[in-house]
């Protein structure tokens, strides 16, 4: 009986507590920089697409929301199309972890509601951003041993000249 | 003999009074959710209109436009009758409340108190019939619980008021308020006040005594099958019931409209409003007791206490100087 009265009193005191609710649209909550939200495709410091169409993101995706097609141009691989179905995406970040070139990244933006479900399928032009995202200096083709126009084998950063297998010299 | 003018005046009084009661009940749904929100450190409905006050209107519109569904296995006649009884009995009971000596529909009824208890007793039919007509085991369990709970708590509610009637020497609610001019009955009849209020909570089957509805175990109890405005009528009936019990407690124990400085109507409103707020606080704070706990609490604790209260009051009245 007495405990009931005490409960009543403590509940009454809650009238004077601060509300824990964050009135969201008027009052934006703080989002940590690593919050997993809308997915973007970043570019390297030279402004070229980072994505090399390795399909690892599509493989890693547990809900199969990523779909892409590889194409090749001057020795560089590009996605011919790259679409993410955000009505399926669970924002797990596995694609970001799988990506070998830091191309696919998750941003703290989550306000992407649509009236039409179809509009939640983002194509490559919607996903591509002009910047480098979280890794400002990384450029895959500059560190990879692949030969592309303007950079032959052995010319990448920290890369030795290829060994001439026909020579006996060390 | 009734003069045409007084008939029109009386009708106007009735219509305006009931409209006011309905409006207040609708407002109360919003007040409750808002206050409950603050008690739980959140805002409650604050979107529709200023402070969310139009939420009540939005809910009303929603309920009106919902499909009015009677389950094929239900007894249609009784099914429709039950919510009407729920609303009609509380509104009839409300008629007897004297807000001030002049405001009130039949405030001067010489058996006002008995009339109030009678209407409360009839109110039981609404839940029992609703539970029975729904032809559904959850509803039936809710109805059975409601019957047992309301019938037993009605006993203590009525007996708790005997002390007041003894002190005031009248069943007329206006006279009862008049006799509290110098001392509110909450002081000499404190036990009666507590028991009446507990009985009132059980009578309106509000939390923590909401076993007939028991959302966690019975779905929604007796109104599981109800939707649309029929559900709304139970809802409005419940809220008018809260107002009724609060107003009745004010009249019987808290000196009705008496109070310094402010006009009588305002005093009555303030006291009733605080009691309603206390109802909401109870809902926020206390868990629902088990059914057998509820019954044994009533019959083994409240009934002896009530009888003791009557005995002591009577003894003191005989021993002391006659009142007034």
Q: Tell me whether B118 touches chain A (CB under 8 Å).
A: no
Please say if the pLDDT value at position B219 is more than 90.
no
Answer whether A14 sits within 8 Å of B39, measured CB to CB: yes
A59 φ, ψ (degrees, to nearest 5): -70, -40
- How far apart, in whole angstroms, are the C-alpha atoms of residue A19 and residue A15? 9
Decide: B290 and B142 in contact? Cβ < 8 Å. Answer: no
Please say if the pLDDT value at position B3 is more than 70.
no
The angle formed by the CA atoms of residues B136, B142 and B147, to the nearest 5 degrees, is 120
Answer whether A14 sits within 8 Å of B38, measured CB to CB: yes
Question: pLDDT value at position A81?
Answer: 93
Work out the number of other CB atoms within 10 angstroms of the CB of residue B43: 17
Note the helical H segments in B134-227.
Answer: 137-168, 173-178, 190-203, 215-218
SS3 content of chain B, % helix, strand, coil (to 5): 70, 0, 30
**Nearest CA-CA distance, residue A108 and chain B, Å:** 26
At residue B2 the predicted structure's pLDDT band, cuts being 50, 70 and 90, is very low
Question: pLDDT value at position A84?
Answer: 94
Closest by Cα among B124, B146, B297, B295 to B210: B146
At A54-92, the pLDDT tens digits run 999 999 999 999 999 999 988 889 999 999 999 999 999
**Nearest CA-CA distance, residue A69 and chain B, Å:** 47
Closest by Cα among B16, B17, B31 to B242: B31
At B65-79, the pLDDT tens digits run 988 888 888 888 888
Residues of chain B in contact with residue A15, where contact means CB-CB under 8 angstroms, are 38-39
- ipTM for this model: 0.78
A68 φ, ψ (degrees, to nearest 5): -150, 165
Q: Which of B42, B282, B285 sits opposite A19 (nearest CB)?
A: B42
At residue B133 the predicted structure's pLDDT band, cuts being 50, 70 and 90, is confident
Q: Tell me whether B274 touches chain A (CB under 8 Å).
A: no
Question: pLDDT value at position B323?
Answer: 52
Please say if the pLDDT value at position B1 is more than 50.
no
Q: Which domains does chain A have, with CATH numbers?
A: 32-136 (3.30.70.3270)
At residue B321 the predicted structure's pLDDT band, cuts being 50, 70 and 90, is low
Q: Which residues of A touch chain B, with CB atoms under 8 Å apart?
A: 4, 7-8, 10-12, 14-15, 17-21, 23
Q: End-to-end CA distance of chain A: give it in Å, rounded.
A: 93
**Nearest CA-CA distance, residue A11 and chain B, Å:** 6
Please say if the pLDDT value at position B322 is more than 60.
no
Peptide bond just before B208 cis, omega within 30 deg: yes
Mean pLDDT of B291-306: 88
Answer whether B286 sits within 8 Å of A18, measured CB to CB: no
At B138-190, the pLDDT tens digits run 888 888 888 888 888 888 888 888 888 888 888 888 888 888 888 888 888 88
CA dihedral A119, A121, A124, A126 (to 10 degrees): 40
What distance separates the 2 farthest-apart alpha carbons in chain B? Answer: 65
pTM, rounded to two decimals: 0.79
**Nearest CA-CA distance, residue A124 and chain B, Å:** 38
Question: pLDDT value at position B234?
Answer: 86
Q: Which of A7, A15, A21 sits opposite B286 (nearest CB)?
A: A7
Q: Where are the domains of chain B?
A: 74-319
State the helix-helix crossing angle for B264-285 and B228-253, rounded to 10 degrees.
Answer: 120
Please say if the pLDDT value at position A46 is more than 80.
yes
Question: Mean pLDDT over all residues of chain B?
Answer: 85
Structure tokens at B73: 């296995």
DSSP structure string for B204-272: TT-TTS-TTT-HHHHTTGGGTT--HHHHHHHHHHHHHHHHHHHHHHHHHHS-TT--SSS-HHHHHHHHH
- How far apart, in whole angstroms, are the C-alpha atoms of residue B56 and residue B255? 31
């Amino acid at each position: 009986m007495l405990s009931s009265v005490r409960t009543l009193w403590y509940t009454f005191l809650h009238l004077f507590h601060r509300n824990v609710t964050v009135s969201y649209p008027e009052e934006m909550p703080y989002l940590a920089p690593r919050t997993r939200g809308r997915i973007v495709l970043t570019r390297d410091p030279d402004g070229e697409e980072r994505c090399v169409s390795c399909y690892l993101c599509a493989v890693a995706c547990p809900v199969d929301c990523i779909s892409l097609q590889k194409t090749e141009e001057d020795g560089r691989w590009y996605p011919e199309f790259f679409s993410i179905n955000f009505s399926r995406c669970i924002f797990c970040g596995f694609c970001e972890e799988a990506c070998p070139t830091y191309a696919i990244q998750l941003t703290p933006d989550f306000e992407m509601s649509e009236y039409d479900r179809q509009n939640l399928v983002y194509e490559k032009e919607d996903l591509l951003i002009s910047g480098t995202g979280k890794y400002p200096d990384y450029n895959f083709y500059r560190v990879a041993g692949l030969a592309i126009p303007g950079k032959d084998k052995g010319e990448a950063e920290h890369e030795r000249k290829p060994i001439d297998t026909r020579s006996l010299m060390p | 003999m009734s003069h045409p003018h007084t008939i029109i005046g009386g009708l106007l009084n009735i219509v305006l009074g009931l409209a006011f009661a309905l409006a207040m009940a609708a407002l109360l749904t919003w007040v409750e959710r808002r206050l409950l929100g603050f008690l739980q450190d959140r805002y409650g409905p604050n979107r529709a209109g200023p402070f969310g006050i139009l939420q009540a209107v939005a809910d009303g519109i929603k309920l009106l436009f919902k499909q009015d569904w009677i389950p094929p296995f239900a007894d249609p006649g009784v099914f429709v009758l039950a919510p009407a009884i729920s609303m009609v009995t509380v509104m009839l009971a409300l008629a007897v409340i004297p807000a001030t000596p002049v405001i009130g529909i039949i405030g001067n009824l010489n058996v006002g108190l008995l009339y109030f208890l009678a209407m409360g007793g009839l109110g039981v039919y609404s839940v029992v019939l609703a539970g029975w007509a729904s032809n559904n085991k959850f509803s039936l369990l809710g109805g059975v619980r409601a019957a047992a709970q309301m019938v037993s708590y009605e006993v203590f509610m009525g007996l708790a008021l005997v002390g007041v009637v003894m002190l005031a020497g009248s069943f007329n609610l206006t006279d009862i308020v008049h006799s509290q001019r110098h001392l509110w009955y909450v002081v000499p009849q404190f036990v009666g006040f507590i028991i009446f209020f507990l009985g009132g909570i059980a009578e309106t089957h509000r939390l923590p005594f909401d076993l007939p509805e028991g959302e966690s175990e019975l779905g929604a109890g007796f109104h599981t099958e109800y939707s649309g405005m029929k559900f709304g009528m139970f809802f409005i009936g419940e809220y008018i019931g809260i107002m009724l019990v609060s107003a009745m407690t004010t009249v019987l124990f808290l000196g009705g409209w008496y109070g310094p400085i402010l006009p009588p109507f305002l005093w009555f409103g303030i006291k009733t409003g605080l009691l309603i707020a206390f109802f909401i606080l109870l809902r926020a704070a206390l868990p629902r007791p088990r059914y057998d706990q509820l019954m044994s609490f009533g019959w083994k604790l409240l009934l002896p206490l009530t009888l003791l209260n009557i005995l002591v009051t009577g003894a003191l009245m005989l021993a002391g100087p006659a009142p007034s």
